[in-house]
Amino acid sequence: MVDTQELDALKRVNLADVVERVTTLRKASGREFCGPCPRAGCDADEDGFHVGRRDNGSWWWFCRRCHGKRGDIVEFARWLHGYDFSQAVAWAHGGIAVVEAKPRKPVHTVATARTWDVAEVERKIDAACRVLANGDGELGAAGRAYLVKRALTMPTAERFFLGTHMAWDRNLHQARPALTLPWARADVVTAIKYRFCEVPTGGMKMTSESGSRFDGMFGRNALGGAYDVLVVCEGEINGMSVHQAARAAGWPWVDAVSVGGEGAALSATTVAAVAELAGDFKRVLMWLDKPDYAAALRDAVPGAQAIRSHDDGVKYDANELLQRDMLQDFMGAVFGRLWPILV
Q: Where are the domains of the chain?
A: 4-100, 118-208, 223-342
Report pLDDT for 113: 34
Report pLDDT for 13: 87
Report pLDDT for 118: 61
In CATH terms, are 4-100 and 223-342 the same topology? no
The domain made up of 118-208 has a fold known as DNA primase DNAg catalytic core, N-terminal domain (3.90.980)
Distance, in Å, from the CA atom of 274 to the CA atom of 264, rounded to the nearest integer, reads: 12
In whole numbers, what is the pLDDT of the chain averaged over residues? 85
Distance, in Å, from the CA atom of 46 to the CA atom of 48, rounded to the nearest integer, reads: 6
Report pLDDT for 343: 65
308-325, pLDDT tens digit by residue?
A: 887 777 889 999 999 999
40-83, pLDDT tens digit by residue?
A: 767 777 778 899 999 999 999 999 888 889 999 999 988 887 88
* Residue 279 scores a pLDDT above 80: yes
- CA gyration radius for the chain? 22
% of residues, the chain, pLDDT over 70: 90
Residue 236 CB: number of other CB atoms within 10 A? 26
Options 3.30.1300.10, 3.40.640.10, 3.90.580.10, 3.30.420.40; CATH of 4-100: 3.90.580.10
Return the CATH number of the domain spanning residue range 223-342: 3.40.50.11610
If you ran DSSP here, which 8-state letter would residue 13 be given?
A: S
User: 94 or 74, which is more confident?
Assistant: 74
206-243, pLDDT tens digit by residue?
A: 998 888 888 778 998 899 888 999 999 999 999 999 99
Q: Would you call 286 helix, strand, or coil by DSSP? A: strand
